[in-house]
Amino acid sequence: MSDGRLIYVMGASGVGKDSLLRELARRRPDALMAHRYITRASGGEENCIELSREAFLWRHEQRLFCLSWRAHGLNYGVGIEVEAWLSAGHTVVLNGSRRALERARQRFGAALVPVLVVADAEVLRRRLIARGRETPAEIEARLARGGGEEALGDIPRIDNGGELVHGVQALEAWLDASRVPDGLT
């Protein structure tokens, strides 16, 4: 499909993907950060465009998404501009979904570089509580379900349970692709 690479960042809610990507964008103006289209308000914390369900469905019907998925009752989409960036040879970073990983592999082929962001359950609990989107019961149910990371096999992982700077440095290494990333397990 392209000469570019799509760094496909995945992880459970609360693992800190948005924080990692915000800091990466601040540190690396050369990083093309793909935004997502989402059918919920983001509160300004995510690199996304909020759409009504009707607007999302219209864009989907017009084939304006190169990838889309549904999670937790919401629709998520990635605009077709990502394919243009990849075709031009750029490295693009995307806050992806574990649920859509197989579709992303089919769509982007060898350009796709999946990376899984992880943190231990107590860190996730604290972050989800601080985020305030879910009730305590919903948070505990989410943690009890687990993230299904074991099913992802040998996908490289970035531990984002500690200081943000360490996770960002590991993610930057994927952009540079010139050294073994620190913080990967």
Domains and CATH numbers, the chain: 5-176 (3.40.50.300)
Task: Mark 65-76 as b/e (b = at least 16 C-beta within 10 Å).
Answer: bbbbbeeeeebb
pLDDT (0 to 100) of residue 27: 92
Sequence-separated (6 or more) residues with CB below 8 Å from residue 65: 37, 59, 77, 78, 79, 80
What tens digit of pLDDT does each residue of 74-131 get?
999 999 999 999 999 999 999 999 889 999 999 999 999 999 998 888 888 888 888 8
Structure-token match 């996304």, residue found:
48
CB count in 10 Å sphere of residue 55: 13
Beta bridge partners of 115: 9
pLDDT band at 181 (very low <50, low <70, confident <90, very high): very low
pLDDT tens readout for residues 71-84: 888 999 999 999 99
Q: Is residue 1 predicted with pLDDT exceeding 50?
A: no
Whether residue 147 has pLDDT greater than 70: no
What radius of gyration do the chain's Cα atoms show? 16
